[in-house]
Every structure is written in C-alpha cells, then in structure tokens.
Amino acid sequence: MLAWITGLIVLLVKLVVVLVALLLTAAYLVWAERKLLARLQVRLGPNRAGKFGLLQPIADMIKLLTKEDLVPESADRVIFLLAPAVVSVTALLMFAVVPFGTDITLFGRRVPLIISDINVALLLVFAFSSLGVYGVALGGWASNSKFALIGGIRGAAQMISYELPLGLSLVPVVMLARSFSLVDIVNAQNSYPFILVQPLAFAIFVISAMAESKRIPFDLPEAENELGAGFHTEYSGMRFGLFFLGEYVHMQVLGALVAVFFLGGWRGPWLPGPLWLFVKIIAVALVMIWIRGTLPRLRYDQLMAICWKVLVPAALINIILTGFVMLI
Amino acid sequence: MSSDRTKKTKPADHPGTLIAESIKALGSGFATTAKHLLRRPVTEQYPEQKRVLPERSRARIVLTRDPDGRERCVACYLCSAVCPVSCISMQSTGGEGGRRVAAWFRINFSRCIYCGLCEEACPTSAIQLTPDFENCRQDILEMVFEKDDLLVDHGGRDDRYCFYRHAGIATDTAGKGEHVNEQPPVDAKSNLP
C-alpha cells in the first residue's frame, strides 16, 4: 500500500514537472517563433513587454484569459466548447510516452524518467495524433461558419493523409529497434542515432510531422489569407488560446518524437538526459521556424500529391530496402 | 517570356536532375533567409525614433493667416463642397472691413481621410495640411476641431501670399485700384464720345 502511494506521488510530481515544463516551453516557443521569424523578415519582433519582449507570453496569456469567450449563436454549443480541449489534450498526452532520461534513484527507489513506459507507445502516439484530427474537424464544423468548415475539412483531409507516411516512415525504425516502446527505441540508438542509417525515413517523418502540426508550408487548415483563420476563425479568448497552445505543444512533441526516433532521444555526451532532449526539441522547433520563414504555403493539390505520390511510395520503398538490408 | 515557353516545350528532365535542381532551389531559399537573419532589422521604433516626415506629407489640417496676421479663410465653402467625406462645415458671415470670414469653422477629424482636396480647392491658401499626424484622442468628440483649434499664427506654405492684396475688392486695407498690378478703375463717364 505504501509503495503504491509513493509511486502515485512520484507519478504526480513527474506529471506536474512535465506539464509545467511543456506549457512554459510552449509559451516561450511562441516568443522564440515571433522573434526569430521577425529577424528572418528583417524586423524586430516583440520588444515592448520586458527586456527583449521576454514578458510577451505572460502578457499574451493575460490577454487571452481576460477576453470574452464568444460562442456564435448558430454554433453547435457542446462540440464547439469541447473541440479546443481535444486539440491541446491529445497534444499533451502524446508526451506521456516520451522518455527523457535514464532511470534515476530517489530515496532508494528507482524512478524511470518517463511518465508511462508502455510497450505499444508508438501506436499510442499515432492514436492521439489521429484523435487530434477530431479537434480540428469538429471545431471547424461546430463553428457553423464557412471559413471554419473549409478549414476543418482541409485539416481533416490533410492530417488523415499525412498519418500514413508518418506511420510508414517509422516502420524501419521499429524494425531496427525491434520494439514499439519509445524507451527501447532510444536504447537501440545507444551506439549511433538512427538518422545515420535512415536519412530517408527521417526526411519523410519530418515533412509529415510538419503537415500533422499544420505548420507553414502545410498550414492550409488555417490559411489566414483565404480562410480568415481556418478552423479556429470563430474562437476567441482562451479557447483560441487552447488551439494555439495545442499547436505549440504539438510542435514540441514532434520535436521530441524526431529526437526519440532519429536523433537518439535523450542520449548524448556531457549533458544530462533531459537537457539533451530539450536541446534536440528546441533545435527541431527552430528548424521548423526557419522553414516557416522560408517556404510559401503549398497549393492543396500539391499538398496531396506530395503525400500520396512522393512520401508514401518513398516510405514503402524504404521499408522494403531496410528489410532487405536487415536480412542479408 | 519566350524563355518560359521554350522551357515548357522541352522534354521532361531526368528525374535525378529534377530532384537535384529542386534541392538546390530549396537550399538557396534557406540560405537567403539565413542571410537575412544576420541583417540589421529595418524597423523604426516609433515613439522613440521619429522619422522626419516629408514637408508635403498630409496630416492635421490647419487654417493659416495672412502675413499681416489676419484670417485667410474667406468662407467660400469650396473645401466643404469638395470634401469627399463631408467632414468640413462652416458658416459664412460678413466680417469687419468688407472681408468675409467664417462665423464658425469645424472639421471632424474622426471622418477626415487626409486626402488634401480641401487644400487644393482653397482659393486663398487658407486651409493647409501639415505633417503632424499624432492626433489621437480618447473621446471621439474631441476629434471635432473648432476654428480656434484649427487657426495657427503663421502663413504655412505660402507665407507671403495675401489674398486681399490681389482680390480687387475694396476692404479696409486697400480700396479699388490700389491692389498689386491693378490700375485705378476707369471712370466710365470720361470715356464718353
């Protein structure tokens, strides 16, 4: 009984630490994105709230919290209110299976630095990623607005399509690690990160991951110059904030997944595990911001063509090649 | 244009060169943005750094005065007629010494679009636009400027011009025939055959 209670306390502490870290990083990722994007466009970016605009996320949060929470009269009220939560909750839950360090010993107990190590973690990630589509599609539908509906439909089509190459690109990784558990996948990269042997899978995964997180150049669901704000056009206040938060948490989760599957997870010389994972997440996020500052939005047919005509066949060929190499 | 057309009719490139070309194009794009990262931002930080605006930039409207310090406006209503948003209104009245002046003159700056048509229409150079653009008010009623708010004590752009020196109207400053380049009026009776 005592062991059970201490286990629960340890779990709760881990949850709190991970949640706070995720939300704080999400807030400052917004700041970093605005700042870096501004510099890429020869602007200054936020610089009024605090030094270098460092208090900007706090100001934004206060603004979002104090804004009126509008629900359009013709919206489907229950679904409209629930949709933003689906987006951010699925994004947050995905992080539950990401390992961020070796086991540590606290008060004579071994504490694994992961919230829950389950043997089908990779499938869980995909399940949550697919559930995230509901948030976008239902949010767009429940708003009962044309822009939001088009955004939601685009989002659903895009995210469902890109699930496929996302999953297929990881099959070689699973083949190499011989496990679905993210802990085992990280452990399998003890000697070398998988990016060295699976560069094609890495490229496919990063591209599909960006499409999954609806970032430029794959931001068709929210394409602001044609759809207002896409699926979250009708949202205001903290409900819009939840969509926003979900996007940035998703960005971190994808950074973490890229790190876990291809960059060796928390493994690395000199620094402790969690710090290495953080560095890798931030590096992936910064590259995503750089991509946002460089590439224009894809046309809808181009988006679908890249997915079905390039990424899926390439991923399939990659699986066959990997299997072939592993056999001989 | 012609090179575009020849490119399209050319047979499709080898997929390998296509991939190489697209990677090169992507790379040059990323290099361009990376280079911009090192450039100095061009942002002007407004309240601290105020750019000197061009002399002829159009913002707050003023009513200027003659070189001798009297109101230029003759209340002819041309500015109010030409104003596309009808933000100028006034009441003409006979002033002292044969001059016409505006009894009241009002510009609603919450409507003004700073197009400058009033300035173009003005026959006496009275109404002029200045580069002073910082005219925000908390209360929208404070955006309505009366004649006292509009009048300035200088001549603005044509500071030596005085309408009544050329007008040909007898006023308290000059009678008939006493204006610039004006001959005394012909006595019609001396012209009789």
Q: pLDDT tens for residues B133-145?
A: 888 889 999 999 9
Note whether A37 contacts B: Cβ–Cβ < 8 A.
Answer: no
For B33, the closest of A43, A47, A290 (CB atoms) is: A290
Chain B: residue whose CA lies nearest to A288: B30
- Asked if residue A49 belongs to a domain, the reply is no
Q: How far apart are CA B168 and CA B189, in angstroms?
A: 21
Q: Which two tokens stand for residue B155?
A: 């001549």
- Look-up: residue for tokens 């992080």? A95
Chain B residues with CB under 8 Å of A43 CB are 41-43
Q: Is B169 buried (19+), middle (13-18) or exposed (0-12) by CB count in 10 A?
A: middle
Q: How far apart are CA A4 and CA A11, in angstroms?
A: 10
Please, what is the angle between helix B15-37 and helix A2-40, to 10°?
90
A130 within some domain: yes
Residues 6+ apart with CB under 8 A from B129: B58, B59, B60, B61, B62, B114, B116, B119
**Residue B45: closest C-alpha in chain A:** A44
Which of A42, A47, A291 shows the shortest C-beta gap to B36?
A: A42
Q: Is residue A127 part of a domain?
A: yes
Q: A264 near A186, Cβ under 8 Å?
A: yes
Q: Which residues are paired to B144 by β-bridges?
A: B108
Q: What is the rounded CA–CA span in Å between residue A240 and residue A234? A: 9
Per-residue pLDDT reduced to its tens digit, A84-96: 888 888 888 888 8
Do B33 and A293 count as a contact with CB atoms less than 8 A apart?
yes
Q: Report CA-CA distances (Å) from A20 to A8, A25, A92.
A: 18, 8, 11
Per CB-CB distance under 8 Å, the chain A contacts of B48 are none
Q: Is residue A31 part of a domain?
A: no
Q: Report the distance separating Cα A287 and Cα B33, nearest Å.
A: 12
Count of structural domains, chain A: 1
pLDDT tens for A306-323 read 889 888 999 999 999 988
Measured distance CA(A81)–CA(A86) in Å, rounded: 10
Is A221 part of any domain? Answer: yes
Give the global pTM.
0.77
In a domain, A24, yes or no: no
CB A48 within 8 A of CB A38: no
The percent helix, strand, coil of chain A (3-state, each to 5) is 70, 0, 25
The two structure tokens encoding residue B172: 């308290």
Structure tokens at A314: 């390439």
Q: Which residues of B touch A200 (CB under 8 A)?
A: none
Count of C-beta atoms within a 10 Å radius of residue B58? 18
Q: Is residue A59 part of a domain?
A: no
Amino acid sitting at position A204: I
Task: Please give the residue range of the domain that contains residue A257.
Answer: 71-101+116-327
pLDDT tens, per residue, chain A with 328 residues: 787 888 888 888 888 988 898 888 888 888 988 888 888 888 888 888 888 888 888 888 898 889 888 888 888 888 888 888 888 888 888 888 888 877 777 777 777 777 777 888 888 888 888 888 888 888 888 888 888 888 888 888 888 888 889 889 888 888 888 888 888 888 888 888 888 888 888 889 988 888 888 887 888 878 777 887 778 888 888 888 888 888 888 888 888 888 888 887 777 777 777 888 888 889 988 888 888 888 888 888 888 888 898 889 999 999 999 888 888 8
Q: How far is A234 from chain B (nearest CA, A)?
A: 29
- Secondary structure letter of residue A309 according to DSSP: I
Instruction: Give the containing element (helix H, strand E) for B36.
Output: helix B15-37
From chain B, the residues in CB contact with A290 under 8 A are: 30, 33-34
> ipTM > 0.90?
no
